Amino acid sequence: MLYAECSAFAPVDLVDRLRERFSGAAQSKGLTLTLDLDDKLPPGIRGDAGKLYQCLECLVDNAIKFTRKGAVQVRFSGQPQDLERMHLRVEVMDSGIGFSHLDEALLYQHFLQVDGSMTREYGGLGIGLAICRKLVELQGGELSHRSEPGKGSCFTLSIPMLMAVPGAVRRAPEAKAQWGHVSRS
């Protein structure tokens, strides 16, 4: 049986892992990959970092796969609920091919892609988003999206988390990771 774990992790570690995993793929396609951490996000939170990373890995992989030119941006932010709880929000935005509203109902079905020709052109089994949504729901969160054909997509996940240090709603200045380095602004 699949269940959510709850342990402390640093959001910046997820940014580092995503940067290491995807900067080469983005660069090889001539895409700009930007990963941003909101300066109000606490340095440590408690939740299931493994399942969160699996979801983000799927979303970023799709964003790069379906973007021919332009950019992919991953933005981490948080909304405190009280001194101990918060909602982590992560947006994965791209300037890729997008999809129409008629296709949205199909996105989260297992083994189904919006268009059969997409399997030939882009590869994949068509199960990533279905798995991603289940993992997000398992953590008590939501996965939503908006998209426009030819303009790109934005997938947003919102997951309840605990603060590793109660009341810690601020951290060091905003960290931005781009092309293999983290800069602080």
Whether 114 and 105 have beta carbons less than 8 Å apart is answered as no
**Which candidate, 106, 102, 26, places its Cα nearest to that of 66?**
26
- pLDDT < 50 stretches in the chain: 117-122, 125, 171-185
List, in order of start, the domains of the chain with CATH numbers. 7-184 (3.30.565.10)
pLDDT at position 4, please?
85
What pLDDT, on a 0 to 100 scale, did the predictor assign at position 70? Answer: 97
What integer pLDDT is reported at residue 172 of this predicted model?
43
Q: Are 77 and 38 in contact (CB under 8 A)?
A: yes
Write down the pTM of the prediction.
Answer: 0.81
pLDDT confidence of residue 176: 47
In this prediction, residue 175 carries a pLDDT of 46
What confidence score (pLDDT) does residue 123 get? 52
What does the pLDDT read at residue 99?
A: 79
What pLDDT is recorded for position 1?
A: 62
Q: Helix 49-65 crosses helix 11-28 at what angle (to 10 degrees)?
A: 20
Backbone angles phi, psi at 76, to 5 degrees: -100, 130
Task: Return the pLDDT at 166.
Answer: 72
User: Tokens for 134?
Assistant: 């289940």
Measured distance CA(15)–CA(31) in Å, rounded:
17
pLDDT at 59: 96
pLDDT value, residue 119: 44
pLDDT of 92 reads 98
CA distances 104 to 9, 82, 100, 138, 141, Å, are: 33, 34, 7, 21, 19
pLDDT at 183: 37
